[in-house]
Amino acid sequence: MRTLLLVPALSLAACLVAAPAFAPAFAKEKEKLVVHLKTSKGEDAGTATFKETKKGELSIKLELKNLPFGEHAVHIHAKPVCDAPDFKGAGGHFNPDARQHGTLNPMGHHNGDLPQNISIGEDHAGSAAFKVDYLSMKEGSPNNILANGGTAIMVHEKPDDMKTDPTGNAGNRIACGVITAPSAQ
């Protein structure tokens, strides 16, 4: 009887010892970075979630609320500062490639220019998702939104016309979130 119990126990022990060798197959999903946005009055304006894709693109998912009805531009700004009420401390658009504004600009666009506006409904909420190959969270990348202390994600009062330099006629800044690398734990 003891021999019969010993065989399964040894098999279980062997599996537990071997399990770390198979850990990569069960590794966690790549890290997501969730950024909380605030309105110029300090209200919760929702979140922006950033994640590197397997194809090397940066996925950006917006879930916004407490914003005015209509179309709004969304950009990545150069400095990790959200100083209400005007958010001017965030500087201009993130632009390490030194280009002009607008994804429709034949001279090229700022890295901080996102490919479409976000539509906010009558319930003052809206969502959008983008995948771009010109932004990154990879260390050492020249277009890393986390480098040099980070950047900011900004929602503007008007839609971006996608071509007018330097801001796409997007108007004032109405919501902001600081994009920085997560603290080491």
- What are the tokens at 25? 């197959």
Q: Would you state the pLDDT for residue 11?
A: 43
For residue 116, give both structure tokens. 């479409």
pLDDT of residue 123: 97
Question: Is the Cβ–Cβ distance between 99 and 113 less than 8 Å?
Answer: no
pLDDT tens by residue, the chain, 185 residues: 444 444 444 343 444 434 333 333 322 345 899 999 999 999 999 999 999 999 989 999 999 999 999 999 999 999 999 999 999 999 988 887 767 666 666 676 666 778 889 999 999 999 999 999 889 999 888 899 999 999 999 999 999 877 766 666 788 999 999 999 987 43
pLDDT of residue 153: 96
Give the 3-state DSSP-derived string for 17-75, with helices as H, strands as E and coil as C: HHHHHHHHHHCCCCCCEEEEEEECCCCEEEEEEEEECCCCCEEEEEEECCCCCEEECEE
* pLDDT at position 98: 66
CATH 1.10.10.10 correct for 33-179:
no
Domain boundaries, given as residue ranges, for the chain: 33-179
C-alpha to C-alpha distance for 150 and 137, rounded to whole angstroms: 10
